[in-house]
């Protein structure tokens, strides 16, 4: 499976009011492994960036003045995401902006017609109901380092979300608990497990061990007048 973890920054919050995308960051994940292949671009939105938006992402009108317009990067961007499953935190926001940008061009493209869409915010809300599920909150919950995230940035946020998503969906990543490991990070590090790792060995109890266990449990049952294990075996 090819997934693209994606984030955007924009001039404002509503594409229906003419707001535009100013930054796109994408991180490629194949079979739950980060490939190191990314897509990142700043975009001249052909309009002013709202002051409130600048306080969130720090991207100014002056910085964007010489950047390419969306029409100039649209094909490269589309080719990068085409056929992939997009992982986006609060997907409706980013997809709404992407569709608005594609709608200005010919041929008109709709994101969902060419990509699968997974909303990591919806997954987090289902898994952690009643709790904060912002990207920062999830970083804290899963031990993902977001210390470089003073301002929102599309590529940085996509990289952070990739780690969060893999932990949130329960595979392929593990916390390193080796306090003596290089860097001395203790519980703070994340170690990705190779997909071709050997399966865990399952060791079955021998007949003698099983018999000894039964005798021991029978003794506990007699001395204690019943055990939780005994009730579970009886289906109580």
The residues that are catalytic are 152
Cα 161 from Cα 29, distance rounded (Å): 11
Q: Which residues contact 51 (CB under 8 A, 6 or more apart)?
A: none
Cα 89 from Cα 158, distance rounded (Å): 9
- Joined together, the tokens standing for residue 51 give 């002051």
Cα 27 from Cα 163, distance rounded (Å): 11
- Joined together, the tokens standing for residue 37 give 């292949």
Strand ordering across the sheet containing 116-119: 33-42, 21-30, 2-10, 85-88, 116-119
Cα 77 from Cα 175, distance rounded (Å): 33
């Amino acid at each position: 499976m090819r997934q693209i973890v994606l984030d955007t920054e924009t001039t404002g919050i509503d594409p229906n009011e003419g707001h535009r995308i100013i930054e796109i960051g994408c991180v490629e994940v194949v079979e739950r492994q980060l490939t190191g292949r990314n897509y990142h671009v700043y975009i001249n939105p052909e309009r002013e960036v709202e002051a409130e938006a600048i306080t969130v992402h720090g991207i100014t009108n002056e910085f964007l003045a010489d950047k390419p317009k969306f029409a100039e990067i649209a094909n490269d961007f589309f080719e990068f995401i085409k056929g992939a499953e997009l992982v986006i935190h609060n997907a409706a926001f980013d997809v709404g902006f992407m569709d608005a940008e594609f709608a200005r061009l010919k041929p008109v493209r709709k994101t969902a017609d060419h990509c699968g869409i997974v909303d990591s915010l919806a997954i987090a809300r289902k898994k952690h109901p009643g709790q904060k599920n912002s990207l920062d909150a999830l970083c804290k919950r899963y031990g993902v380092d977001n210390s470089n995230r003073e301002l929102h940035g599309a590529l940085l946020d996509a990289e952070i979300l990739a780690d969060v998503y893999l932990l949130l969906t329960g595979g392929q990543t593990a916390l390193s608990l080796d306090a003596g490991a290089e860097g001395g990070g203790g519980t703070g590090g994340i170690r990705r497990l190779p997909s071709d790792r050997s399966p865990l060995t399952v060791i079955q109890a021998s007949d003698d061990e099983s018999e000894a266990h039964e005798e021991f449990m029978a003794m506990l049952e007699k001395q204690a007048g019943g055990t939780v294990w005994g009730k579970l075996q009886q289906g109580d």
